[in-house]
Amino acid sequence: MPRLQAAVSESPVIATLPEGGAPTPPEPTLPAHLVRWHGLWQGWACGGRQCDVRLAVERVSATQVTVAFAHVNPLQGLFAERAVGQFVGDELVLPLTGARLTLRLRNDGDMEMAFWKPEKQLLSVGVLTQKQIQTPYTRTIERIPTPWNDGERQQTLEMVVYRPLGNGPFPTLVFNHGSTGAGNRPEWFKLTWSSPEVAHYFTNQGWQVLFPQRRGRGQSDGLYDEGFSADRSKGYSCEPERAIAGFDRAVADLDVVMTHILARPDVDRAQVLVGGVSRGGILSVAYAGRRPEMFKGVLNFVGGWLGDGCRQVAAVNPVLMQRGANFKRPTLWLYGDRDPYYKLSHSRNNFEAFKAAGGQGEFLTFEPAPGRDGHSLHNEPFIWTSAVDRYLAAALGR
């Protein structure tokens, strides 16, 4: 929690407090350490900062606190409730309907938040603040034209653009999303994905970061069809033929994306990186081998196409990684322990297959933060920042 930063949420919908939601002036005799809790708070929660959170500490006394709380994301909708809580040590604990909210103030005045199913299941965490938040970038949504159509209408792909302050052209990272778990939750397909943590790291250094959404993902047009079972309700297929056909469809999408990106006036074509997480990681490695002249480097966060629980995974993941061997610059592979999809031993084997085919790179492993799994490594910049710093310095000759 101490490593999480106050920031604006990435949710396209804004949380609305329960009716009222206005703090009353604190009592003049209230101790200063309790006055600090008082007022309106806002910020983020959930992975990728996808939840918007608003909180009003309405009344504070030495024995209890009244809070209006609102938490929203596009998938689950709005949760809004008023609650009365008590201090337990340095934390404020509030019982909610089917949940529990725990708050803790930091020395800098910001507030840490943990949202629990009553006892032990952590639903989300985040940081709230009363400060005006400054970001090192602007975040916009753009549409990429494609050669495909749906009837008579041209299809387009959604792309999230994090642009640093100042004038371009900018060195640019194209960062590719992964899958949706087992692929059997179609409501997840329509969630636009980005990584504020990756974007923040790069835009702080003057990089533009682009998150394209492939066909049928986020608000992109078309059918999401990256290797599903014949019965799509069963999710992704472990059959190599279906899996690799789905991978080739993702490559076709990235071809369209890169044609668009390299024609943009805000892109410094001499300084382009490609990267991604999970399926986006293996896609980036293989694609760099397909288009080696486009990129200065590759960042692979926990890349793989099929989970290592698939019986025929050896016919897919190492084979696809070998496609990247034609990229003759160094690549960086970042993997975490306790990954529910790819054991470290499996991922190392994929890397060895890549190297045996002539690929160049470094394979690094990390211990995830307590309570996290290794597949979410991209959300933990304090773990990988120094490694990426070194890689960029070497890849770009800085």
Per DSSP, 28 falls in state T
Question: Rounded to 5 degrees, what are φ and ψ at 146?
Answer: -125, 165
How far apart are alpha carbons 157 and 185 in whole angstroms?
21
Cα–chain center distance at 365: 19
Query: Residue 29 contacts by C-beta under 8 Å, 6 or more apart in sequence?
Result: none
Question: For residue 76, what pLDDT is reported?
Answer: 84
How far apart are alpha carbons 253 and 251 in whole angstroms?
5
CATH 3.30.1490.100 assigned to domain 137-395? The reply is no
Burial of 151 (0-12, 13-18, 19+ CB in 10 A): exposed
The residue with tokens 């322990």 is 337
Residue numbers in the chain where pLDDT is lower than 50: none
Q: Which fold has domain 32-129?
A: Lipocalin (2.40.128)
Q: Which two tokens stand for residue 312?
A: 């025929």
Question: For residue 78, what pLDDT is reported?
Answer: 93
Indicate the pTM of the whole model. Answer: 0.90
Question: For residue 398, what pLDDT is reported?
Answer: 61
Question: For residue 150, what pLDDT is reported?
Answer: 85
| Contact between residue 168 and residue 210 where contact means Cβ atoms under 8 Å apart | no
| Residue 36 CB coordination number (10 Å) | 15
Pairing type for strands 137-150 and 153-164 reads antiparallel
The DSSP secondary structure of 201-266, one letter per residue, reads: HHHTTT-EEEEE--TTSTT-SS---SSB-SSGGG-B---HHHHHHHHHHHHHHHHHHHHHHHT-TT
| Contact between residue 212 and residue 159 where contact means Cβ atoms under 8 Å apart | yes
Boundaries of every domain in the chain:
32-129, 137-395
Q: Which of 166, 225, 147, 160 is nearest to 11 (CA)?
A: 160
Domains 32-129 and 137-395 share a fold: no
